[in-house]
């Protein structure tokens, strides 16, 4: 019954959402072209170029300032995620998995975390997402940087997490079953279901799956579309923070490019945290980057990454090597 209702709402509202999504995409494209056009128009004359470079270096400095949290300094007023002195020593591990980890992230944009296997990247994401509790330290969400930890239930509600190879964890048969799996089923969950159904249309548009029938067998989807579906499942919840663990793993080159472009769209509305070894592919859409070393120690490598990008046809390979 509930599922029929959801399906009906989806079809009835389909056109409205399609036009809303088109308008949003047009707006985003116009923002992007404006952003691209601005430096060029500011560089019509030599003086303009100099001013343009001045602006660019100021922008880089601003980006660097936004990274202060990684060094243990206080986060800025515009930050939304505040991780302070987080330690994690689960019973049985016999050692610290994370020790004194500090990280602050703004409300929007893509943060890339790179680092050796076993350094604690996935562990930090599961703590941020409210799936585990730190042994000590603060994990707070919101504008108030001084607040105490946000309870894990609230973090679960505000942070979406897409694990590595999410398609391996699909439980339903159809797309609709996957998308509605965790929805409230009780009679008085009607209002919530309606809200989720509206968002489902938006989420499917966001990942470019709006034309695929909801009764499609998930096993029949291509690898890239399975990954998009996993993202849509999280987007339905409209999380303020979206964490993705190795989002490009196991995908072919074309799908990797598509998923990267999708991340570039998603970061406009929320904080996106990506853990990935695929630095070269993700770096063009990255706003800030950290390298994680043993026990979660984070170093700001945004400038290194920017440098590698700037010399993409030069010494890029040398710079990228330092992310291993
Ligand atoms: N609950 C736990 N109990 C014991 N050890 C754990 C627990 N959770 C994580 N670990 C260990 O902590 C270390 C960090 O694991 P984590 O999965 O976070 O690393 P990672 O940086 O994501 O690595 P990879 O790049 O391989 O995915 C690993 O050595 C792992 O075995
Ligand atoms: Mg991992």
- Where do the structural domains in the chain lie, given as residue ranges? 2-66, 79-323
Q: Which atom of ligand 1 is nearest to the CA of 123?
A: 18
pLDDT of residue 243: 97
* Ligand 1 close to Cβ of residue 293 (< 6 A): no
Question: Which of helix, strand or coil describes residue 315?
Answer: coil
Of all protein residues, the one whose alpha carbon is nearest to atom 9 of ligand 1 is: 123
Q: Where is pLDDT greater, at 47 or 113?
A: 113
Q: Which atom of ligand 1 is nearest to the CA of 124?
A: 18
Task: Say how many CA atoms lie within 13 Å of 146 toward its Cβ.
Answer: 0
* Closest CA to ligand 1's atom 1: 90
Which neighbouring-strand residues pair with 109? 271
Tell how strand 297-300 and strand 288-293 pair up. antiparallel
Of the candidates 152, 87, 153, the one whose C-alpha atom is nearest the C-alpha of residue 120 is 87
pLDDT, averaged across the chain: 77
Cβ-based neighbours of 163, under 8 Å, separated by 6 or more: 169, 245
pLDDT for 273 = 98
Which run of H or of E encompasses 286?
A: none
**DSSP summary character for residue 174:** B
Cα 247 from Cα 164, distance rounded (Å): 6
79-323 folds as Rossmann fold (3.40.50)
Angle ∠(185,272,63) on CA atoms, nearest 5? 155
Per-residue pLDDT tens over the stretch 117-176: 999 999 999 999 999 999 999 999 998 777 789 999 999 999 999 999 999 989 889 999
> What pLDDT sits at residue 191?
85
pLDDT of 183 over the 90 cut? no
Biggest alpha carbon–alpha carbon distance for the chain: 68
Query: Which of 91, 92, 93, 278 is the best mutation target for the ligand 1 pocket, counting ligand atoms within 8 Å of the beta carbon and taking the most?
Result: 93
Give yes or no for residue 40 having a pLDDT over 70: no
**pLDDT at residue 181, rounded to an integer:** 86
pLDDT at 236 exceeding the cut of 60: yes
Q: Is 117 in the pocket of ligand 1 (CB under 6 A)?
A: yes
Q: Is the pLDDT of residue 261 over 50?
A: yes
pLDDT at 244 over 70: yes
CB 274 within 8 A of CB 110: yes
With a 6 Å cutoff on the Cβ, whether 123 touches ligand 1 is yes
């Amino acid at each position: 019954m509930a599922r029929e209702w959801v399906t009906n709402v989806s079809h009835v509202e389909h056109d409205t959402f399609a036009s809303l999504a088109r308008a949003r995409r047009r707006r985003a494209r116009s923002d992007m072209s404006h952003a691209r056009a601005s430096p060029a128009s500011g560089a019509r004359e030599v003086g303009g170029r100099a001013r343009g470079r001045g602006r660019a270096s100021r922008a880089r400095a601003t980006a660097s300032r936004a990274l202060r949290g990684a060094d243990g300094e206080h986060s800025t007023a515009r930050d939304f995620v505040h991780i302070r002195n987080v330690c994690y020593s689960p019973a049985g591990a016999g050692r610290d998995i994370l020790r004194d980890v500090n990280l602050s992230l703004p409300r929007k944009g893509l943060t890339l975390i790179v680092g050796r296997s076993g350094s604690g990247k996935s562990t930090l994401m599961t703590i941020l997402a409210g799936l585990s509790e730190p042994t000590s330290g603060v994990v707070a969400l919101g504008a108030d940087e001084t607040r105490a930890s946000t309870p894990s239930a609230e973090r679960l509600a505000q942070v979406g997490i897409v694990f590595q190879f999410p398609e391996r964890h699909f439980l339903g048969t159809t797309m609709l079953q996957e998308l509605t799996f965790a929805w409230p089923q009780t009679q008085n969950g009607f209002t919530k279901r309606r809200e989720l159904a509206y968002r489902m249309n938006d989420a499917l548009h966001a990942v470019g799956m709006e034309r695929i029938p909801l009764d499609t067998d998930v096993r029949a989807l291509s690898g890239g579309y399975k990954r998009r579906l996993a993202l849509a499942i999280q987007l339905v919840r409209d999380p303020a923070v979206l964490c993705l663990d190795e989002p490009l793993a196991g995908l072919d080159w074309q799908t990797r490019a598509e998923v990267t472009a999708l991340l570039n769209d998603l970061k406009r509305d929320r904080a996106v945290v990506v853990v990935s070894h695929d630095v070269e592919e993700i770096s063009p859409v990255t706003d800030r980057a950290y390298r994680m070393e043993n026990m979660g120690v984070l170093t700001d490598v945004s400038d290194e990454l920017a440098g590698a990008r700037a010399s993409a046809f030069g010494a890029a390979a040398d710079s990228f090597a330092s992310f291993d």
